[in-house]
Structure 1
Amino acid sequence: MPTYQEVQSVTKKRFGFTPKSCWIAHLKSEHSLTRGAAPNRQSLDSRKHPCPDHRRDDLTTVLIDMGVLPRGT
């Protein structure tokens, strides 16, 4: 499983932006690929910095290509 830094590096090279680690965690959590909420998370019901819609497709593409997310999602 690639690290968040590796995902950020690949995304920067391919699409020209560096995603926040919380965006990566948001997409992974939507597919039940996280161990749960971080102990320092303020609210379990909402995210302070969810992945923005205009970055979601590009970041999802990178996560699929790197084997983090399953294909066909």
Structure 2
Amino acid sequence: MATYKQIHDYVKTTFGVVVKTCHIAHVKHLNGFDMKPAPNRRSEESRVYECPDDKRVMIESAMKHFGMI
């Protein structure tokens, strides 16, 4: 499984866009990955920064590249 840094670097070099780690976490959650509860998370139901649809496609492309999905 690729790290957040590897996904971040792949998206940056391939698409020229910088994504936040919270966007990567949101996409992982949407794709059914088991996530540990973050210590700074305010609520299980809400997110401060949800991933925009255009960046979701890029992150999922990186996840496919690394064989995660």
CA displacement at 1:9 relative to structure 2: 0.5
Q: Which runs of 4+ in 1 moved over 6 A?
A: none
- CA RMSD across the alignment: 1.3
Unpaired runs of 5+ residues, structure 2, are none
Amino-acid identity (%) = 35
C-alpha distance in structure 2 between counterparts of 1:55 and 1:35, whole Å: 20
* Superposition TM-score, scaled by structure 1 size: 0.82
Q: How many residues align?
A: 69
CA displacement at 1:21 relative to structure 2: 0.5
Q: Which has the higher contact order (CA 8 A, sep 6+)?
A: 2
Q: State the secondary structure of the residue aligned to 1:33.
A: coil
C-alpha contact (below 8 Å) 1:27/1:60 kept by paired residues: yes
